[in-house]
């Protein structure tokens, strides 16, 4: 999700911070676009909309801007769409996940998949977002600039 900032060319990006102990003390490079897996037989855009809603409690509304796909450092391929909207990040509600923590301990914990969200201007977003996903911000900026 993006919104237009106070200045005409300024954009702000809505990013999510992963929940759980692994991400608890990580900031720069840890934030992400809300995303997740595609279920069997599910269209990729439908999966993106479902995942956004599951991780934030916000229902995305189009029109949607296709941003293509990127490959993250660990090999995960992320397909992304952008949409213009607004939301109060303090009101997000995320689904939960359960994992073994610490790894190998046999103990499981449950925590929100996303622990917080926030709006970031271009410079701040580039510092916070997963490095590979920064390309998605560039693509959105280029698409919007071409439409002006």
Record the pTM: 0.94
- Domain coverage including residue 69: 2-147
Listed in sequence order, the residues at least 6 apart from 57 whose beta carbon sits closer than 8 Å to its beta carbon are 91, 92, 93, 94
CATH of the domain at 89: 3.90.79.10
What are the pLDDT digits (tens) for 64-112?
999 999 999 999 999 999 999 999 999 999 999 999 999 999 999 999 9
Q: Is the peptide bond before 63 cis (omega within 30 degrees of 0)?
A: yes
């Amino acid at each position: 999700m993006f919104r237009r900032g106070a200045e005409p060319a300024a954009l702000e990006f809505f990013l999510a911070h992963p929940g759980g102990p692994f991400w608890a003390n990580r900031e720069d490079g840890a934030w992400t676009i809300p995303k997740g897996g595609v279920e069997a037989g599910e269209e990729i855009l439908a999966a993106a909309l479902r995942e956004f809603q599951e991780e934030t409690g916000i229902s995305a509304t189009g029109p949607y801007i296709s941003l293509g796909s990127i490959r993250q450092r660990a090999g995960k391929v992320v397909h992304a769409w952008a949409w213009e909207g607004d939301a109060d990040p303090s009101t997000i509600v995320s689904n939960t996940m359960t994992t073994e923590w610490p790894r190998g301990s046999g103990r499981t914990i449950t925590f929100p998949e996303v622990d917080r969200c926030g709006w970031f201007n271009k410079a701040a977003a580039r510092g916070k977002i997963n490095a590979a996903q920064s390309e998605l911000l560039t693509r959105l900026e280029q698409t919007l600039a071409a439409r002006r």
